[in-house]
């Protein structure tokens, strides 16, 4: 599927193309205007739209916030808008991009479509904004937020090689849970903590977190690991060939019909030809270090998602394990809100670089239930057995 937006101006493409090729990111010259546009769009929301519109919509709550919290509010507004825009765009591309849905394993690693490039550009534009905000306010938000912005920008910029261009809309769907997490934060600041609105939002947050990050994310991670392993096989086979006979991976990657010979209209021919447009840059294969870096980052993120969700589940279980006389109000209501608060706390800890709250989480997650049982049994024994000298 071709990029639905117009191409960049000729002067901008000519200016950025040498730098894009030097950085091994040739498709960047096709989407640089979208990166810049996304960055400007989110910067305007942060600096103008949110400070102007928020006092109108929430005059009492917003005006009562401290300057630091107002800044955080504006950042959350940008995060909310971005997560909605990017996920809607990604779902639309996944539904509409016929050429993408027909890709082979090798093409999912090496191929390129303009529509997937658009998703990468929108994401990179936001992460450039996020990086600048993290640098300016590093003393406020911590070094962890800065490293997170750098890592996110790095991973999504790799798609401009092109590398895993196919998976840009796939993994950006992690953001499906972000609107609900932002809404939870806003409701706290609007003095609506613990209300039914926050509870319904919490149900949506937990559901989307489980569905898009654990189920969808884990499944797609397994698929992408297999695709990258196949890509490495092609790369190693090409590199082991005699120097006098250079071998390209393209013959083993792209369908012969990608030249558009099987198409019945011009759009189909152009879209198929676009898939192999940058094959000269991928002919040598994919570097091993790049695959290792990507897999490592993906494994860490998946592990964090599993830890966070397990802690949320444990929070809910503890609520329902409490004796009846200790339970007040709606147990399900309180359990959901407590679990969402736990998720917000853990994600904030990682983003701000405060890893102390995460140390030993795996061990504590296993041992916490045992420790609780031991404390309860000890209390029962003390109540039943009189102490010496009593």
pLDDT at residue 284 in the model: 80
pLDDT at residue 135 in the model: 93
pLDDT at residue 146 in the model: 83
Query: What is the chain's pLDDT, residue by residue, as a tens digit (390 residues)?
Result: 888 999 999 999 999 999 999 988 999 999 999 999 999 999 999 999 999 999 999 998 999 999 999 999 999 999 999 999 999 999 999 999 888 888 888 889 989 999 999 999 999 999 999 999 999 998 888 887 788 788 888 888 988 999 999 999 999 998 998 999 899 889 889 988 878 888 888 888 889 989 998 999 999 999 999 999 998 988 888 777 665 455 678 777 787 767 666 666 777 788 888 888 888 888 888 889 999 988 988 888 888 888 878 877 776 666 555 545 444 556 566 667 777 676 767 666 665 655 444 444 444 443 444 344 445 544 544 444 444 444
**Which pTM was predicted?**
0.82
Q: Residues 11, 273, 166, CA angle at the centre, nearest 5°? A: 85
pLDDT at residue 371 in the model: 44
How far, in Å, CA of 114 to CA of 143, rounded?
Answer: 34
pLDDT at residue 334 in the model: 67
Q: Which residues, in sequence order, are CB contacts of 218 under 8 Å at separation 6+? A: 302
pLDDT at residue 386 in the model: 46
pLDDT at residue 172 in the model: 92
pLDDT at residue 173 in the model: 92
State residue 22 phi and psi, 5-degree precision: -60, -35
pLDDT at residue 148 in the model: 79
């Amino acid at each position: 599927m071709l990029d639905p937006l117009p191409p960049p101006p000729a002067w901008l493409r000519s200016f950025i193309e040498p730098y894009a090729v030097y950085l091994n990111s040739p498709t960047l010259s096709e989407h640089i205007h979208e990166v810049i546009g996304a960055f400007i769009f989110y910067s305007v929301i942060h600096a103008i739209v949110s400070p102007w519109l928020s006092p109108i919509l929430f005059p009492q709550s917003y005006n009562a916030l401290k300057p630091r919290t107002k800044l955080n509010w504006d950042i959350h507004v940008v995060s909310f808008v971005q997560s909605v825009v990017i996920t809607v765009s990604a779902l639309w591309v996944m539904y509409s991009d016929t050429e993408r849905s027909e890709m082979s394993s090798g093409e999912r690693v090496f191929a390129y479509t303009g529509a997937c490039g658009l998703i990468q550009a929108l994401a990179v534009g936001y992460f450039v904004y996020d990086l600048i905000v993290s640098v300016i306010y590093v003393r406020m938000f911590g070094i962890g937020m800065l490293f997170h912005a750098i890592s996110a920008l790095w991973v999504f910029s790799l798609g401009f090689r092109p590398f895993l261009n196919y998976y840009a809309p796939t993994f950006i769907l992690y953001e499906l849970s972000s609107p609900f997490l932002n809404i939870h934060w806003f409701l706290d600041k609007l003095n609506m903590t613990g209300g039914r609105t926050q509870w319904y939002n919490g149900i949506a947050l937990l559901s989307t977190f489980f569905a898009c990050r654990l189920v969808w994310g884990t499944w797609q991670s397994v698929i992408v690991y297999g695709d990258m392993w196949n890509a490495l096989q092609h790369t190693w086979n090409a590199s082991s060939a005699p120097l006098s006979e250079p071998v390209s991976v393209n013959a083993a990657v792209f369908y012969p019909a990608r030249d558009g010979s099987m198409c019945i209209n011009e759009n189909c021919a152009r879209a198929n030809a676009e898939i192999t447009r940058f094959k000269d840059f991928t002919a040598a294969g994919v570097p091993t270090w790049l695959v290792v870096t990507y897999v490592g980052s993906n494994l860490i993120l998946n592990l964090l998602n599993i830890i966070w969700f397990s802690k949320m589940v444990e929070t809910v279980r503890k609520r329902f394990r409490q004796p009846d006389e200790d339970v007040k109000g709606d147990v399900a209501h309180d359990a959901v809100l407590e679990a969402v608060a736990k998720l917000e706390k853990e994600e904030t800890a990682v983003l701000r670089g405060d890893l102390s709250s995460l140390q030993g989480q795996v061990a504590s997650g296993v041992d916490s239930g045992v420790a609780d049982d031991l404390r309860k049994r000890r209390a029962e024994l003390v109540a039943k057995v009189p102490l010496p000298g009593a």
